[in-house]
């Protein structure tokens, strides 16, 4: 019996706005070392790694003296590309994942399809959430923007809904944890699946 191929990736991206290095192992234990120079985003990526059982190292620096936007966006782009590379041809995976995750007052649902077709549906955040500064300089709008970049570059169809929530920190964290749990299920190997789980024969 042959073992499954290693699902890892190491990527680097440098622009005039940021430098990002990511090492990723989809079949890990959730170990992470995250330093994006955006503390709240570090917290969210640590939660993503832990709850998706993905080993993740992120080293990033950028023009956060201007705004956290460029660094968060570029890290999310590279993370999506690393996920896509590590997934390979997607043979034997479950493909779909669904998770409903509470965090005190907040409740978020995420559904993920490793479809090869990038798409994000994201709704339910309370009015004004996008303007709220979480952790000092992480704007609420960056939550959606991060999921857009990850989903597009990883080739994921992602639906995220906030069903309840008052505290912006809790809302954002519930979203990332729900996404992580749904992705964990979708990327997992299904012993009943033979080959690529698509009638087209490719994802």
pLDDT for res 136: 81
Could you tell me if residue 28 is inside a domain? yes
Contact 98/196 with Cβ under 8 angstroms?
no
Residues in the chain: 203
Could you tell me if residue 85 is inside a domain? yes
Q: Distance between CA atoms of 171 and 163, rounded to whole angstroms?
A: 9
Average pLDDT over residues 70-98: 98
- pLDDT grade for 3, boundaries at 50, 70 and 90: low
Token couple for 109: 């649902």
Could you tell me if residue 159 is inside a domain? yes
DSSP-based three-state secondary structure for 145 = helix
Q: Cα angle at 9 between 137 and 196, to 5 degrees?
A: 115
- pTM equals 0.96
Could you tell me if residue 61 is inside a domain? yes
Token couple for 94: 């479950």
Instruction: Give yes or no for residue 59 having a pLDDT over 90.
Output: yes
- pLDDT grade for 1, boundaries at 50, 70 and 90: very low
Domain span at residue 175?
Answer: 8-187
pLDDT for res 131: 95
Average pLDDT over residues 144-166: 98
Could you tell me if residue 136 is inside a domain? yes
pLDDT for res 5: 75
- pLDDT grade for 2, boundaries at 50, 70 and 90: very low
Q: Distance between CA atoms of 4 and 2, rounded to whole angstroms?
A: 7
Closest to 197 in 3D by CA, of 109, 104, 123, 91: 91
CATH of the domain at 72: 3.30.230.40
Could you tell me if residue 192 is inside a domain? no
- Total tally of structural domains belonging to the chain: 1
């Amino acid at each position: 019996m042959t073992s499954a191929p290693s699902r890892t990736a190491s990527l680097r991206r440098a622009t005039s706005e940021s430098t990002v290095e990511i090492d990723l192992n989809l079949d890990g234990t959730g170990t992470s070392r995250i330093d994006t120079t955006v503390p709240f985003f570090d917290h969210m990526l640590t939660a993503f790694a832990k709850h998706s059982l993905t080993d993740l190292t992120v080293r990033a620096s950028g023009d956060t003296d201007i705004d956290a936007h460029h660094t968060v966006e570029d890290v999310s782009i590279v993370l999506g590309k690393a996920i896509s590379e590590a997934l390979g041809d997607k043979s034997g995976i479950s493909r779909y994942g669904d998770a409903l995750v509470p965090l005190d007052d907040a409740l978020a649902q995420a559904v993920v399809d490793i479809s090869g077709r990038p798409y994000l549906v994201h709704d339910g955040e309370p009015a004004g959430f996008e303007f709220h500064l979480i952790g000092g300089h992480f704007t609420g709008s960056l939550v959606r923007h991060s999921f857009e970049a990850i989903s597009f570059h990883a080739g994921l169809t992602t639906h995220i809904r906030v069903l309840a929530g008052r505290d912006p920190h809790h809302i954002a964290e519930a979203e990332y944890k729900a996404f992580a749990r749904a992705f964990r299920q979708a990327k997992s190997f299904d012993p009943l699946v033979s080959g690529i789980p698509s009638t087209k024969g490719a994802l």
